[in-house]
Amino acid sequence: MQLTRFGNAEDFYQRVESFLVAHEAEHCLILGLCSTLIRQPGYYQNPYLALVEEGETVLAAALMTPPHNLTLSLTQHSEVFRLFADDLYTDFKTLPGVSGAPEICRGFAEEWQKISGQTSRLSMEERVYRLDKVNPVTGVAGHFRRATEADRALLMKWIIAFEKEAFGSVVTDEANREKTVNAMLTSPIRGAYFWEDGEQVSFSAYGNPTPHGVRIGPVYTPPEYRGRGYASACVAALSQYLLDSGRKFVTLFTDLANPTSNHIYQAVGYNPVIDFDVLEFEPLESA
């Protein structure tokens, strides 16, 4: 087995495309990040891009956009984990975390602890869903519209609220939130939409396209507007818009600890693809 690291996303993508696209929805995160790296140079700084091959066969791919988690996709385990851990340690003595299928996260975390000393804890259990056809949502008051520059302040506010609720704290700094909102408002591969009923009552965004799909997220409805179908209507409308725009399918991630959102998305037409764990690595104590 041999590990190869890449200095740019285009070269990396050319080598891993067939491996990842064979299970495109399952690999929507790493494929979508590749797409953003290629089509929006500078959006992420100093990414880590590597693969492991045996002969001409790709066995594994890894991508990280610091300070975000490492994302892994593997077909084989123990030796691949060691190769990635050894290579990452040459440049990164600590990592924030790892995301991927549960057994992949656990296997890599064990190897990473051996070399770095960082222990891990389960931060979130997620599930990837895929939609090919929308189940229309009817009877919900209001209408669907694209976010505009006039909505910038509200988008910033709701992203903060979403992060607090989803992750327990605000996980992005102001500069990165501004970059995210700028992309939602101006990028050809990203966008944000509101459901409006007299005022904005729910929003959903999309981005990180894959060859045939695109991913929705985040989705947020303020507590005072919940229980009225606004999120369902907004996600259904955005999903249909993306299909009508030429995408063959749409993906999204859910938190398995939130049964309401999982029910809503399945009712709209989303079907489970794969479970996805997020492991957080504990900071090392200062010497």
Ranges assigned E (strand) in the chain: 2-5, 48-54, 57-64, 70-74, 97-100, 120-131, 143-146, 191-196, 200-207, 213-220, 249-255, 271-281
Query: pTM for the whole thing?
Result: 0.92
- Host domain of residue 96: 2-127+277-281
pLDDT higher at 286 or 181: 181
Report the CATH number at residue 189: 3.40.630.30
Report the CATH number at residue 21: 3.40.630
Q: What is the pLDDT of residue 176?
A: 87
Q: Output the CA angle 12-15-17, nearest 5 degrees.
A: 95
* Residue 78 domain-assigned (yes or no): yes
* Residue 74 domain-assigned (yes or no): yes
7-53 per-position pLDDT tens digit: 999 999 999 999 999 999 999 999 999 999 999 888 888 999 999 99
Q: What is the pLDDT of residue 286?
A: 59
* Residue 256 domain-assigned (yes or no): yes
Report the run of H or E that residue 15 belongs to, with start and end: helix 9-21
Percent over 90 (pLDDT), the chain: 87
* Residue 79 domain-assigned (yes or no): yes
| CA atoms in the 13 A half-sphere facing the CB of 1 | 17
* Residue 286 domain-assigned (yes or no): no
* Residue 148 domain-assigned (yes or no): yes
109-161 per-position pLDDT tens digit: 999 999 999 999 999 999 999 999 999 999 999 999 999 999 999 999 999 99
